[in-house]
A and B are shown apart, each in its own frame.
Chain A
Amino acid sequence: MEAPTEALSPREFERPPQGAGRRFQPFVLWLVPILGLLFVFSVLPIFGSFFLSFFDYEMLQPLKFVGLGNFIYAFTQDTVFPKTVLNTVYFAFVSVPISMAISLVVAQFIFGRRHFQSGWRTIYFLPVVTPVIAITIVWRFILQPSRFGFLNAILGNFGIPPQPWIGSQVWVIPSLILVSVWSGLGYNMVLFLAGLGGIPYSFYEAAKIDGANEWNMFWKITLPMLSPTILFTTVTGSISALQIFSIPYVMTRGGPENASRMIVMWIQETGFSQFRMGYASSLAVLFFLFTLALTFIQLRALRTQWSY
């Protein structure tokens, strides 16, 4: 009874995908080395991290099962880990919105220019392509706490006394935010420029006829139309901001007194300086769960905000 109905189902009349006529195409075997490498270097290590997180493990020594001990230790006895979480969250949640706001304004300004548009774009995008390490080394000198530091010398021209920057516990994270906003805003700007180019000009014309001013048009047309881009840049920007490592590693090494130590730096240090690899794995697992949860919340919150 069932066989004929299946044979007559509309699927049969659709164009089968290429090669579906034959049972198996040997060309597909190219995937074996490609996905094999991916499996070994990316998939296996994910399981490895979850596995190791339940063990005490020092390189080249036998594993010792500790159950949830590592996780409990992270929240109860490790005095540095909670501090690194706070630092990282502070850094990410301040730097991402600032970077988004500035790059949106810059993109809006550049988009309206008739002359030199690509010139402006080139300038603002330049830090994105320059090697992070080299530029961080440079910023370390610029932000030197003495009055001969470049930024302090500039401020001195305006009569502002020298600030401690990376030398003080209060100023160190704002300094990192400054560097990361400076180096990353061109990236968001370019995506916003592409987004702005995708908004039909007729929308603005219609709004103008209805008597809308520039300000109204920005809030009622530009921003909602850019919401997919904003969603994308917020999510990817937050994930990469939470993983910040190079800038504080070179600029502050976590100091002064852990004031700028970030989660990834702590994982690197527990794993590779203290050789507590099981513990470092459990911190990595916690970090993974945290980023997953955050991404989920952001997708939820930002998607419901604008439904056009």
Chain B
Amino acid sequence: MRSEKQIQFIRSTLIVLLLSMGAVVMLMPFYWTLITSVKTPSETATFPIIWVPSKITFEWFVKAWHAKFPTYYMNSVIVAVVVVLSNVFSSALAGYIFAKYAFPGKNFLFTMVLATMMVPFIVILIPAYYLVAVWMGIKDTLWAMILPALISPFGIFLMRQFTTTIPDELLDAARIDGASDFRTFWQIVLPLCTSALSALAIFHFIWIWNDFLWPLLVTDSDRSRTLPVGVAMFALPRWSQTNLVVAASVLVLAPLVIVYFVFQRAFVQGIVLTGLKY
């Protein structure tokens, strides 16, 4: 009869084996992307597969980069930075006011915030488009992507839950010392919320950086396209040029993958804390 220890060893070996097989499946598309972006066309779609290319070329990256990618990067960065900063600031401020102030209509307004959180984006798509494209006339500008995303009902909800836990005595103490309302918020409340705020910032950054449907509809030209729309428009007429299109998607993948590996822990904790799908 096998001892308890042996069974335990067999079990954990089996689990590691299964996890490794899963990991291969998870990483394989990335490996394929990487080798295809530097392969020559003759080695690209072959049977059997050439796992290690005999000749490495960077011409696909150079070609893809010159197809307006610097503009897409700029647009994506501008939109993401403005939206994330605005979301973090406005969510903290509104959440704090909802948590710690009394005013008429508070419950009604907070219910309104919650209700907008529940509505899928596609439901408001057409009126929102009408508003932006016809009434405001800001179609095909970065404003069309920035303005509707400046305020996040989910962020307000999250920050209200978070600031409720701040003890009132602390805020009273600041007030007695003569701090204004805004100073209390800026110097007492904000520093206490850094973990929630960084989670919110990461969450919104991934969301706005990857957003596709809305930017697809409100952009018409390269001058306002963000990376996801830019790369999709680049790929759609060029499906036959495998290496070029894959190199272009590497240009889109790489920044987030690098940022992810650097701030890996913060990313995962951010997801757990915010717990919302993007």
Contacts and interface: CB of A to CB of B under 8 A. Distances in A.
Chain B interface main SS type:
helix
Contacts of A271: 125-126, 129
Contacts of A128: 271
B100 interface: yes
A129 interface: yes
B272 interface: yes
A205 B253 CA distance: 45
Interface string B112-150: 110110011111111111110010000000000001101
Given A35-B112, A239-B120, 17 more contacts: A15-B168, A28-B97, A30-B93, A34-B151, A37-B147, A48-B130, A110-B19, A120-B19, A127-B26, A134-B249, A137-B231, A137-B245, A138-B246, A148-B46, A149-B45, A287-B120, A287-B122
A49 B101 contact: no
A216 interface: no
B127 A131 contact: no
Interface string A20-31: 100011111011
Interface string B66-109: 00000000000000000000000010011001001111000001
A133 B124 CA distance: 22
B277 A187 contact: yes
Instruction: Sort chain B's interface into a size bin.
Output: 35 or more
Contacts of A35: 94, 109, 112-113, 151
B275 A288 contact: no
Interface in B133-190: 134, 147-148, 150-151, 153, 156, 168, 171-172, 181-182, 185
B168 A38 contact: no
Chain A interface main SS type:
helix
Nearest to B133: A59
B276 interface: yes
Interface residues of A, number: 100
Contacts of A112: 12, 15
B267 A129 contact: yes
B206 interface: yes
